[in-house]
Amino acid sequence: MAKRIFVNLPVADVARAAAFYEAIGFTRNAMFSTPQAAAMEWSAAISVMLLDHGFYATFTDKRIIDAHTTSGALFALSLDSRADVDSITEAALAAGGRELHGPEDLGFMYSRAFEDPDGHGWGPMFMDMEAAATGMGQPEPQ
């Protein structure tokens, strides 16, 4: 099996969460989805498993955080362009997400941030690797 990452997120409502992730470009993998879990694929190597709280709790003895009030992780998604960053963010907002910060332009990197309806934070970003390699567009030191 090729190297892959599966991010497991606790969600209050699997159907609502799956609809949100489909709205921002993820694809549901029916083979690994049940009423308690939805397997959402971002790419061939990255999947997000949306698990209802009861099912999620079978994997840990720890208390499940309320991601609306406590940050446990932030997830960055690299995209092909600034327009793609804006597009996924606007889709997230239209699907019930909340914007965490508007556009941040560092010259070599452009990003925004949103959270899903369960409060999990996502940071779509575009990085111009040529500008990053040459140091162009980086902010001046203070």
Which residues partner with 113 through β-bridges?
101
Q: Write the DSSP symbol of residue 69.
A: T
Confidence check: pLDDT of 142 > 70: no
- How many domains are there within the chain? 2
142 and 95 housed in the same domain? yes
Structure token digits, residue 83 = 């327009």
Question: Lowest mean pLDDT: which of 2-6, 44-48, 99-103?
Answer: 2-6
Residue 84 in any domain: the answer is yes
Confidence check: pLDDT of 37 > 90: yes
Domain of residue 109 covers 73-142
Per-residue pLDDT averaged across 86-108, rounded? 96
Structure token digits, residue 32 = 């690994």
Which residues partner with 64 through β-bridges?
none
pLDDT per residue as tens digits for the range 112-129:
999 999 999 999 999 988
Q: 92 Cβ partners below 8 Å, 6+ apart?
A: 20, 23, 24, 114, 116, 122
pLDDT at 63 (0 to 100): 94
Residue 91 in any domain: the answer is yes
Q: Which of 29, 57, 85 is the last residue of a domain?
A: 57
Residue 36 in any domain: the answer is yes
46 and 100 housed in the same domain? no
52 and 78 housed in the same domain? no
pLDDT at 141 (0 to 100): 53
pLDDT per residue as tens digits for the range 70-81:
998 999 999 999
78 and 113 housed in the same domain? yes
52 and 77 housed in the same domain? no
pTM for this entry? 0.87
Residue 63 in any domain: the answer is no
Burial class (CB in 10 A: 0-12, 13-18, 19+), 13: middle
**For the chain, what is the mean pLDDT?**
93
102 and 38 housed in the same domain? no
Q: Which helix (H) or strand (E) holds 126?
A: strand 121-127
Per-residue pLDDT averaged across 30-35, rounded? 95
What CATH number does the domain containing 127 carry? 3.10.180.10
User: Cβ atoms within 10 A of the Cβ of 26, count?
Assistant: 20
54 backbone φψ class: left, alpha, beta (φ>0; ψ -120 to 50): alpha
